[in-house]
Amino acid sequence: MESRAKVLGHPLHQILIVIPLGLLAMAVIFDVLFLSTHRAVFATVAYYDIAAGILGGLMAAIPGLIDWSAIPAGTRAKAIGLWHACGNVVVLTLFAASWWLRRDVSGHVPGTTAVTLAVLGLALASVTGWLGGELVDRLGVGVDTGAHLNAPNSLSGLPATQEAPVVRRRDRARA
């Protein structure tokens, strides 16, 4: 099933998800660094990583919702997509609660609850990320119709069902 929300021929949801995933994972890493070193700068970086990760997650959700709404009802993909989306709402909620607990603290130093919420959010994001992979890699959601190993470039304007011209090594050597 081809994505409905694309930019330059590629699904926008898959492009955008790397931003919040990276930021939220790094927030947990900076929390661990803070807990190991007690350097407040790590807590501050984690605080802003969470804020940016939440915003990035909300932005990624829009094209994800557009794509999910195009999945036919009654399919495994529709159900997996719903679990993926609901799980990610919980992920963002856990991180939002963690962020909220840090907001008024000097240096945004996290307490035990804030760190626990962030770790739980990251653990759940691992599950929802796997569900997203299941949607794309196993169920073909967001994949161009007719996609194959020699499909033409997405910017060529040609459908994925066509063959791209293949330049072999010996042909390049002659040129």
124: nearest Cα among 159, 151, 89, 168: 89
Task: Select from 103, 121, 101 the least CA-distant residue to 111.
Answer: 101
Q: Which residue has the higher pLDDT, 164 or 39?
A: 39
Distance separating alpha carbons of residues 170 and 161, to the nearest angstrom: 26
pTM for the full predicted model = 0.88
List Cβ neighbours of 51 (8 Å cut-off, separation of 6 or more).
99
pLDDT tens for each residue of 105-161: 888 999 999 999 999 999 999 999 999 999 999 999 988 888 888 888 888 888 888
Q: Residue ranges per domain, the chain? A: 6-143, 148-175
Q: Find where tokens 């719903």 sit.
A: 82
